[in-house]
Amino acid sequence: MNDREVRVSSTMSAPRELRSGNPALSDEFVRTNLVSPPPAARTMSVAGVSLKTLILLGFVIGGAAWGWASATEDVPAELGSGYADTTVTIPGGFWLASFGAFLFGILIVVVPGRAAVFGFLYALCQGFCLGAISAAFNAQTDGIVGAAVLSTGCVFIASLFLYLTRIIRPTQKLAFGVAAAMGGLVLLYFFVFVLSIFDWGWLYSDSFARSA
């Protein structure tokens, strides 16, 4: 609130015996001409959110390509057959990008208005980290990154279609159901992880695999 608004508020709240009889200083005149109206609220739209998401996704993809290229290195052909075509090492910039993404994320959470500037840097740093890690996973299991990207894209397209057509509405009951399903899946994987530490053979039996 600036000084002008403070003076106007003081005039409007002054005792009746101190108010002027001048029509130009009446309460109605002050409210309509001297007090600025509150700013109009800005609403979100599906088109605006989708456009911003695609732009940030482009930065993520660009950062991922950069991280993937930094993590992979061609192997000389004279090594002979039986050797991989590329070798993967986590680049030194991975840790710098990780701390950068953490810093930008904190800045955006503290002051959401900064997302218009720091959101692009955050997406670029996150993409670099994802690209470097994806290169390491792809070197161990060829094709796993492509399958993950394809499945994520299919889920995104299906979710966007269901939201745009209003077939499924984002209600509290839907959020509870999704959270319960994801929580149960996380507990299942954690349970399997704990049992795998003790090498319990019955966990990988045919009966358990068929029930799962």
pTM of the predicted protein model: 0.59
Which ranges in the chain belong to alpha helices (H)?
Answer: 3-12, 27-29, 46-71, 93-110, 115-140, 144-164, 172-197, 206-211
- Co-location of 76 and 152 in the same domain: yes
Residue 27 CA to residue 127 CA, distance in Å, equals 57
Q: Which two tokens stand for residue 120?
A: 């692009």
At residue 117, the pLDDT reads 83
The DSSP call for residue 4 is H
136 and 90 Cβ atoms separated by less than 8 Å: yes
pLDDT bin (cut points 50, 70, 90) of residue 157 is confident
At residue 63, the pLDDT reads 92
Residue 151 CA to residue 153 CA, distance in Å, equals 5
Asked, for residue 41, whether it belongs to a domain, the answer is no
32 versus 2: which is more confidently predicted?
32
- Co-location of 156 and 185 in the same domain: no
Orientation angle between helical segments 115-140 and 144-164, nearest 10 degrees: 140
Q: Residue 11 is part of which domain span?
A: 3-34
Q: Give the tens place of pLDDT for each residue, 56-92.
A: 999 999 999 998 888 876 555 544 444 455 677 778 8
Q: Give the tens place of pLDDT for each residue, 108-145.
A: 888 888 888 889 999 999 999 999 888 888 888 878 88
- Co-location of 23 and 52 in the same domain: no
pLDDT at 202 over 60: no
